[in-house]
Amino acid sequence: MRAALLVQIAMNGVNIILDLWFVLGLGWGVAGVAWATLISEVGAAGLAVYLAARYARAISGRWSWGSAFNRLAFARMLKVNGDIFLRSMFLQAALIVFTSVGARSGDSVLATNAILLHFHVFTAYALDAFANAAEVLVGQAYGERNRSRLRAAFLATGRWAVLFSIVFSLFFLGAGGWIIDLLTGIPEIRMLARDYLLWAALLPIVSVWSFHLDGVFIGATRTAEMRNGMLISLLFYAVSLAILLPPMGNHGLWAAFMLFTAARGLTLAVRYPALERSAETQNV
């Protein structure tokens, strides 16, 4: 568990540092983001292989190709990954719609939304770390059929994730204007971004539940619930846009995105009690 957490922290930490260096320091723009992602992913893969080899030496047994390609296990792996793939496609569809709708309001609104979404991306790095910790801890507890340990993992990682989401929201409220000025030098965009800053500042408190519960459900390999929850949230997002966009404009777009994020967390939260019940201890 410690090794998996170390890999995720290293990958996200390197990615953040290189993003800031390449984009803000060297001015590489989108290419800088791409290089930062590539370097951090390759580095994390190398670290993971090193740690896996190190820990494998302490485990008895030998490699078996037959076990690796067991038909039933392989089919289950494909199903789990298929659910995660569809869930990710639904999420990307929501982000594409957000960008597309913002673009119809003009270049200034498009640029403003792109800048404010960076706040969400920065927050995601921190919250993803706790989600990955939840994956490992919940996965181990669920595999052991230990309900009490699963609940303890859920609560422990959840408390830290919520605490950090509050810290991020307060930081964005206090220093959001300064961050905006770092990301753009265009006066018009700076002023417009401040008009919508409150949405970006509140987003961490709302989105923390979807990040955290994603980690919990992935750890328990209950990916069908994630897929279905994301689809329901996407449909709710479409309805929210139809209702809020005409009277509120770009504020309506942000409100609909906020509701979409909240729906992601809520659709998983209502399924969590069933997940926990399914992880009863062996002697219950």
**Mean pLDDT per 10-residue run, the chain (284 residues)?**
82 91 86 93 93 81 74 86 93 92 89 90 83 87 88 92 93 91 88 92 92 92 92 95 93 95 94 87 44
pLDDT of residue 26: 84
Residue 152's closest CA among 6, 263, 8, 279? Answer: 279
CA–CA dist 214, 8 (Å, integer): 15
Q: In the chain, where are the structural domains located? A: 1-61, 76-277
| Under 8 Å between Cβ of 131 and 154 | no
pLDDT of residue 136: 85
Q: Position 51: which residue type?
A: L
Q: In CATH, which of 1.10.357, 1.20.120, 2.60.40, 3.30.70 is domain 76-277?
A: 1.10.357
